[in-house]
Amino acid sequence: MMPLVNVSIVSIGGKLDEFVQTALREQGYRIVLPEAAKDSAFAEADLLLLTLATAQELTYIREARDCFGGPLIVIGPSRDSQLLITALEAGADDYVQRPFRTDELLARIRAQLRRRTNGVNVRQIGELRIDAMQQRVMYASHELHLSRVEYQLLVTLLNHPGRRLQAGYLIEQVWGQHTVDDLEVLQATIHRLRGLVERDIANPQLLCGDVRQGYWIKTAA
């Protein structure tokens, strides 16, 4: 069954190719084309694609995020680590670099739209607690305000407490497709999460591991 989903596309200095729009429509997505990052036309959208021509236009991510609370995928120029981190910190849930394959973009859209709970109601390890019904994350009695990607990554790890999960598996679960460039996205997201739940990022005691050996939630001191 085709999804009844509204996808808004905002192009800043660039344009999403017509064949990509056609591919989205063939999958059952309804395309809305607002004129600006602050345009209220995507208020009812389920997902926003923000297409940017250059890295200098990343400032528009914050404008879009201020107006839109749903999944936000940025399509932009070839990225380096700093560009990726800047985009994620500005509020993007995912970053697709040009050139890209249409099936890759569709996979990333599906990943952002699917349910994030994975059947978990409440899960707690140490001072970290996730209430999936309310989609709230608490750490040391403080609520953490996470992006959808950060939330889904934590849920995936907490679904397998103490188990070492390889980078490729985490990428497929959270972003929907595994490419070499996605390792940078995973590392940047882990780094941001550690800044929220670790007292010493350089010596993590809860969110352990690295991109080579895999990541896991430590269940005991």
Q: pLDDT digit string (tens) for 101-126?
A: 888 898 888 887 764 434 445 677 88
Given a cut of 80, whether residue 218 has pLDDT beyond it is yes
Q: What is the pLDDT of residue 179?
A: 58
Q: 121-157 as b/e, with b when 16 or more CB fall inside 10 Å?
A: eebebeebbbebeeeebebeeeebebbbbbbbbbbbb
Report how far residue 183's alpha carbon sits from residue 217's, in angstroms, rounded to the nearest whole number.
19
Q: pLDDT digit string (tens) for 6-57?
A: 677 777 766 677 888 888 888 878 777 776 666 666 656 778 888 888 888 8
Average pLDDT over residues 144-163: 84
Which among 110, 37, 94, 113 has a CA at the least distance from the CA of 68?
37
Q: What is the pLDDT of residue 37?
A: 64
Q: What is the pLDDT of residue 71?
A: 83
Q: What is the mean pLDDT of the chain?
A: 80
Superfamily of domain 5-113: Response regulator (3.40.50.2300)
CATH topology of domain 122-217: Arc Repressor Mutant, subunit A (1.10.10)
Q: What is the pLDDT of residue 210?
A: 93
Cβ neighbourhood burial of 34 (10 Å; 0-12, 13-18, 19+): buried
Which among 85, 108, 42 has a CA at the least distance from the CA of 11?
42
Q: What is the pLDDT of residue 180?
A: 53
Q: What is the pLDDT of residue 32?
A: 75
Q: Domain ranges in the chain? A: 5-113, 122-217
Q: What is the pLDDT of residue 111?
A: 81
Given a cut of 60, whether residue 1 has pLDDT beyond it is no
Q: What is the pLDDT of residue 196?
A: 92
User: What are the C-alpha distances in Å from 213 to residues 103, 117, 164, 208, 210?
Assistant: 29, 26, 8, 10, 6
Q: What is the pLDDT of residue 209?
A: 94
Average pLDDT over residues 157-185: 78
Q: What is the pLDDT of residue 119?
A: 46
Cβ atoms of 54 and 157 closer than 8 Å: no
Using the 8-state DSSP alphabet, how is residue 165 labeled?
Answer: B
